Structure 1
Amino acid sequence: MAGHWYWYVVLALVVGGYGVWYLRGYRRRTAAIAAGARERGWTYRERAPQLLGRCHGYPFGRGRRPRAWHAVSGSHDGREFTSFEYSEVVGHSDVDSNDSAERLYLQVYAVKVAGAPVLTVRRRGVAGVVAGRLGVGGNATGDPDFDRRFVVEGDATSLTPEAQVWLTAHPRPFRVDGGEVLVWDEGRFDLGRVEPALEQLGELLTRARLG
């Protein structure tokens, strides 16, 4: 073993080199997000742990060690918004587990809407679609076709027929809580996704009774 000491040196150099490369890439990415936010008149925070207080209920809380990073906030089409990267660790790290630990990421978009009811709307899974067809759980909106496709929790009166048509064509989940409407995408934070997501959320807000 003593004659192979150089492999430890090589390993240390590889690990150290990767660490430097990753750190430089992260800094470039962070600087690009900050610069892009400034160009749009938005503010940027690299870490925003205070936002975790707003991350409860679906789709949050599936794992552990939650983080809220890369938060931008400002105004878009007259609406105040915040977008940030939420992540949490799922799975386990022990050798006996078949479910290895990994960190999952969501990019969250939140728009302030005064007086909005508490509401969650999400697509049904395969089992949920079958249950919906069987009438299990009842109808939330009174539209059997819509209720077969979506799970609605909370005050469904804001889901106008126009909103239901829009959601059927754009089936992305959303939730309303604490005077905010939230939608999200899977993956790391991408500044280029903010404005399209807010445009789409604005379309939903004009069709639904959400404040």
Structure 2
Amino acid sequence: MQWWQLVVGVALAGALALLAWRAARMRRRNVEALLSKHGWSRVPEDPTLVDRWRGAPFGQGTNPRATNVISGAYRGHAVLAFDYSYERRHPAGGTVRDVYAVFVVRLPRAVPSLELTPQGLADRGRRLLGQADVTVGDEEFDRAFRIRCHDAGAAALLRPELRRRLLQGGRRPYRFVGDAVLTWELGPIDKYALNATWIEQVFDVLVDLAGSLPPDVDRPRVT
């Protein structure tokens, strides 16, 4: 390697490090601005959240933690966001920690348990093999989401208004459980906070879902 190549390499590494530092600072500022704007509070960790809900991304790996916990009110609903992480063995040896940003909005009442996950290639292949899924008769929605529920009344939540808002919310998982609706993304909250309004956008979807619930669905009989 010639001397000028070394100089260019060092300069490039320095520039990338500076950009990463500026991005991290912007993420922190954006989160702090939202906390101040909405009067939300934040605590470093809350162990009670680790096993409050079942299903992905919870209940996997070892040494689970709920950190960077944000709570407060948004558009008249109690909201919660936190980083959920756990350790798992890496195929090459050792362990790695997977992190998910989890968002929760309290519902006005308890509803039957229902989980929606974006349809993938494996789901489409299973349907081609004749393995039945729960469907609602809406071709666009059934093509976009896989429905999992244990209560026949749960699918009754998926009225047209709620389906429309779910489709508008983007390809992400959702779970209605008890008096809460959840969604989650791979990676910590701060990873997405470079977009100053991203956290609000996620809460907007969940609050809209809470407001789109039909009024005549019974409490859950199976959880």
Does TM, normalized by the shorter one, top 0.5?
A: yes
In structure 2, runs of 5+ residues without a counterpart are: 1-23, 218-223
Structure 2 CA distance for aligned equivalents of residues 72 and 145 of structure 1: 34
Quick one: which of 36, 40, 44 aligns to 1:42?
A: 40
Structure 1 CA distance for aligned equivalents of residues 76 and 128 of structure 2: 41
Structure 2 CA distance for aligned equivalents of residues 180 and 147 of structure 1: 23
Structure 2 CA distance for aligned equivalents of residues 99 and 124 of structure 1: 32
Task: Report sequence identity in percent.
Answer: 30
Question: 1:119 deviation in Å?
Answer: 0.8
> Paired residue for 1:106?
100
Map 1:88-167 to 2 at 5 A.
88-92=86-90, 97-98=91-92, 100-113=94-107, 114-154=109-149, 155-167=154-166
Structure 1 CA distance for aligned equivalents of residues 204 and 110 of structure 2: 21
Question: 1:144 deviation in Å?
Answer: 4.8
Map 1:1-211 to 2 at 5 A.
36-92=34-90, 97-98=91-92, 100-113=94-107, 114-154=109-149, 155-169=154-168, 170-190=170-190, 192=196, 193-209=198-214
Which residue type is aligned with residue 201 of structure 1? L
Structure 2 CA distance for aligned equivalents of residues 138 and 189 of structure 1: 32
Structure 1 length-normalised TM: 0.73
Question: 1:146 deviation in Å?
Answer: 3.0
Which residue type is aligned with residue 156 of structure 2? T
Question: 1:35 deviation in Å?
Answer: 7.1
Which residue type is aligned with residue 165 of structure 2? W
Structure 1 CA distance for aligned equivalents of residues 30 and 141 of structure 2: 41
The 1:203–1:151 alpha-carbon spacing in structure 2 relative to 1, beyond 3 Å, is same
The 1:98–1:168 alpha-carbon spacing in structure 2 relative to 1, beyond 3 Å, is same
Which residue type is aligned with residue 88 of structure 1? Y
Which residue type is aligned with residue 75 of structure 2? D
Structure 2 length-normalised TM: 0.69
Structure 1 CA distance for aligned equivalents of residues 177 and 155 of structure 2: 13
Larger Rg belongs to: 1
CA contact (8 A) 1:132 1:149 kept: no
Question: 1:31 deviation in Å?
Answer: 9.6
Question: 1:50 deviation in Å?
Answer: 0.9
Deviation beyond 4 Å, 4+ runs, structure 1:
29-36
The number of aligned residues is 183
Which residue type is aligned with residue 57 of structure 2? P
Question: 1:30 deviation in Å?
Answer: 7.9
